[in-house]
Amino acid sequence: MYDLAALREAEFPITRDYVYLNYASIAPLPECTRRKMAWALSRLAEQPINFWIDEANEMRAYFRKVVADFLNARSADEVVPVPTTATGINLVAQAIPWQVGDNVVFCEVEFPANAYPWLNLRRDGVEVRLATAVSGGLSLATLEPFIDHHTRVLAVSALQFFSGHRTDLATLGQFCREHNILFVVDAIQAIGHIPIDVQAMQIDVLATGGQKSLMAAPGNGFLYVRQEVAAGLHSRFIAANAVRDYEHWLHYDLTPLPGAQRFTLGTPNLSGMYGIIESIKLIEKLGRAAIDQHTSQLTAEIGRLLQQAGYDIITPLQPGKYGPILTFRTNQTPKETDALVQALREHKISVVKHLNAAGEPHIRISFHCYNTMEDVARFMHVWRKLAPSTSGRQK
């Protein structure tokens, strides 16, 4: 286990007077990431063309290598920067050569970034099937009835944004590879917590933004596409630097760059890319296995305390089924829940309200490497003061 006190002091000054339980909305930037991004912005202000020629071009190749190593991808050509998870998934969804009768399957509780790109294909005649959620997510047993020989894509979240359900990526990846189905993973809630090996888990496509589990800046992320898969994709979005010999600007040639680089979207956010590199370095230094173990312990403890207080926990708390997110029903109206979240904020505690499909309010708590058992105790102490009458009350 890493030195938690030293980490909080050096990298997360927010923890000095704030209980931040909300990485799953947006994570605080580590100090190392903030400094590197500030340095890159200063270079862009002071010597932009020198910075671009002398450092940024080399950094872009380094970025792909760092991310490829982080994912255990076979090649840096399988990685490309993208601004958001939805951008990456849309790029792939629109590049698949769909045939009449094809279908896509995803769970009925997916975040819209991993739902709308597929639902949008209905206008092109693609059938979209929503698999039933069990314990807040997708399992092989519940998936199989929705699969047939026309299924082209299975899209999942590594960690469900609402329930905190932890997907068995290795089992689903093996199933997809055996049935010639593209396995597409939204990793934004898990990529900095849980070790993800795209080769071992047989993941074909992975997309993530940087602002949540990765602890990087908003508007920055990356897309992984397995080399063999990329070769069969035909992008509908062609940027000036996504094609072969692109610097010969007036020699028009739509021959794509190899691998995922065919999805290059033009001039990238350089400071954001530097930031992602620094955040990955910090996560690697701490170790995702250590982060996973620590945050899962926090989830289990706060789940135990809330269950003792009579609350309905929707996060599955069986071993291996959860990670850094816990969600519970507030037993209040949406308006009352908003007031509770605001009151917590006034006590310098950050969580978020979410509604389930039926509109019932829940509170989601999410932990990262910087959180402590003292944070758990502080939340419970303040929560009991703010909502003493809610314990065990059902609506």
For the chain, the structural domain boundaries read: 4-21+287-386, 33-285
Please say whether the beta carbons of 232 and 152 come within 8 A. no
Confidence band (pLDDT; 50, 70, 90) for 208? Answer: very high
Cα gap 214→28, rounded to integer Å: 10
- Between the alpha carbon of residue 272 and those of residues 37, 45, 71, 221, the distances in Å are 7, 15, 19, 8
**pLDDT at 184 (0 to 100):** 98
The structure tokens 């002071």 sit at 46
Q: Are strands 221-225 and 205-209 parallel, antiparallel or unpaired?
A: antiparallel
Give the architecture (CATH level 2) of 33-285. 3-Layer(aba) Sandwich (3.40)
Q: What is the mean pLDDT of the chain?
A: 95
Q: 48-104: per-residue pLDDT in tens?
A: 999 999 888 899 999 999 999 999 999 999 999 999 999 999 999 999 999 999 999
**292 dihedral zone (left: phi>0; alpha: psi -120 to 50; beta):** alpha
**pLDDT at 395 (0 to 100):** 37
φ and ψ at residue 222, rounded to 5 degrees:
-155, 160
Cα gap 374→392, rounded to integer Å: 24
Instruction: Say yes or no to pLDDT of 300 above 60.
Output: yes
Q: What is the CATH number of domain 4-21+287-386?
A: 3.90.1150.10
224's tokens:
């992984």
CB atoms within 10 A of CB 339: 14
Q: 97-123: per-residue pLDDT in tens?
A: 999 999 999 999 999 999 999 999 999
Cα gap 251→248, rounded to integer Å: 6
Average pLDDT over residues 137-142: 92
Please say whether the beta carbons of 154 and 172 come within 8 A. yes
**pLDDT at 391 (0 to 100):** 42
